[in-house]
Structure 1
């Protein structure tokens, strides 16, 4: 496989790659900008920042900036962390805007990673992500599109290198599947919902956060990974790193023939209603008494919270019993 070398000067080893390294794994990153692989490496080897990586891959080229027998600073797990001290860092380019260039860069990165796995006698278990070593949501766009999907791409390329036939991309029909899915990922970027059973950026609809719960009405295999279909019609990943599926909510088993009644979207409260800035507030902290009457839509329900209803007029959260909705039903 063709790799262009543009290696850092030994004069910068002290800040870019100060330690000898015997690698044990690959660590995948996304660049979070739209520079080419050549520009990524050129910028990295020319500055004096303690930030470095071994390879950058774009839609056309693989460029190396750090020798593989030297460590790099990329995983956020400190001077003795296994990511920084034992990981070959591979940056996938064009992840800020995504689209066809990023998709092509991912394909080339999967081929290159498979090449490295075969070269070193490693398996798919040696392919890790930045997020495995620190809280950073990286490789962000690859995670949005499905980490297992990417591993499947690498495995298919490795199979081909080992003389095995590439399995066809696994896709399936919508299956009956009922329950609830809760967002367990606590990263600042949240988890993306899609308008279709697709990992493509063009179908991204909205971002949801830890603690939100949704009703699942089906599932479908998409590029070898299940996506859950939600009652709203949107789709979400089934990856256990980010969500938790269960068949019961607040001790009540879900009905397989009929989904729970949705929360009614209107509420009304008057003078004296307590409205909070924080859904977990109590009566003595983070709350205020609203001084006027208002009615309209709620924009979010957090089941089990002390103040579960988010109002769309900007006043905050309330637990007013006059609100015409059910706190046990997720949106």
Structure 2
């Protein structure tokens, strides 16, 4: 579990180096800072953004071997992908991995995977939508991962992420903040979410949006994705999240 510390920028900085609110939050993009200077850790990059980055660039998180520093909320459209108003800038959450010489790069990569998993759960983003910066603009980023010379390849990063995404059932489901592990019977929606036609929660599988309210929905059973993430199979044949940020037992 990676420690996440917020150092959110001011509204004036949001107005200067982002496209404002409205991020679709459909992707996660992995970057590297390319700053090998000593002390160029997550805290330093968080302070850089909070103080006003001199470049026309912005990103949501910076991760090192100790922590992840969040600079922007997920709903902000950061300038990190190099694709203008494309999906990279408009619909992605961006994670920068520190490469400072006095840091532990491999541990930073592991922390980035743990952070990506947490975001995937919170925003219902599937594994196949965790991509490199290169995916959007062709830039050689994350360069160390892409070259594999530092001992981590992109395939290796995805393997780490798959390991992190394997969900084990908590010993005491009644106190869990993450998932239902047994049939909850009926649920209520406490935050707007989607119903899907399969366990793979991608945009193309969306059936209908469900708003928060008093209506009770009947659950037939729990099913799991290939990565082990549980889903609620509803009476109407659609699937819904088990994340208690969105649903609760009726």
**Distance of 1:81 and 1:104 partners within structure 2:** 31
Contact residue 93 and residue 105 of structure 1 kept, 8 A? yes
Which of the two has greater helix per residue? Answer: 2
8 Å CA contact 1:17–1:66 kept in 2: the answer is no
Q: What's the secondary structure of 2:57's corresponding residue?
A: coil
| TM-score, scaled to structure 2 | 0.60
- Where do 1:38-57 residues align within 5 Å? 38-47=43-52, 48-57=54-63
Q: Is the 8 A contact 1:29 1:90 kept in 2?
A: yes
The equivalences for 1:9-48 within 5 A come to 9-20=10-21, 21-34=23-36, 35-47=40-52, 48=54
Give how far 1:100 is off.
Answer: 6.7
Distance 1:52 1:162 in 2: 35
1:238-267 CA-partner distances (Å, limit 9, x unpaired): xxxxxxxxxxxxxxxxxxxxxxxxxxxxxx
CA distance in 1, matches of 2:14, 2:123: 24
For residues 124 and 136 of structure 2, the distance between their equivalents in structure 1, rounded to whole angstroms, comes to: 23
**C-alpha separation between the residues in 2 aligned to 1:44 and 1:133?**
22
Out of 105, 121, 124, the position equivalent to 1:121 is: 124
Question: May I ask how many residue pairs the two structures share in their alignment?
Answer: 160
SS in 1 for 2:137: coil
Q: Does the 8 A contact of 2:18 with 2:57 survive in 1? A: no
Q: How far does residue 45 in structure 1 lie from its aligned partner after superposition?
A: 2.6
The unaligned stretches of length 5 or more in structure 1 are 165-331
Q: Distance in 1 between matches of 2:165 and 2:80?
A: 25
How far is 1:87 from its partner? 0.8
- What is the match of residue 219 of structure 1? none
**Retained in 1: the 8 A contact 2:30–2:94?**
yes
Q: Segments of 4+ in structure 1 off by > 3 A?
A: 161-164
Q: In structure 1, the residue corresponding to 2:15 is in which secondary structure?
A: helix
User: Deviation at 1:162?
Assistant: 4.8
Structure with the greater alpha carbon radius of gyration: 1
Q: Could you tell me how far 1:19 is from its partner in structure 2?
A: 2.4
Supply the RMSD in Å over aligned alpha carbons.
1.9
CA contact (8 A) 1:44 1:52 kept: yes
Cα displacement (A) at 1:22: 2.2
1:158 partnered with 2:165: yes
Deviations 1:180-210 (A, max 9, x none): xxxxxxxxxxxxxxxxxxxxxxxxxxxxxxx
Q: Which has the higher contact order (CA 8 A, sep 6+)?
A: 2
- Structure 2 partner of 1:105: 108
Q: TM-score, normalised by structure 1?
A: 0.46
Structure 1 residue 52: deviation in Å? 0.4
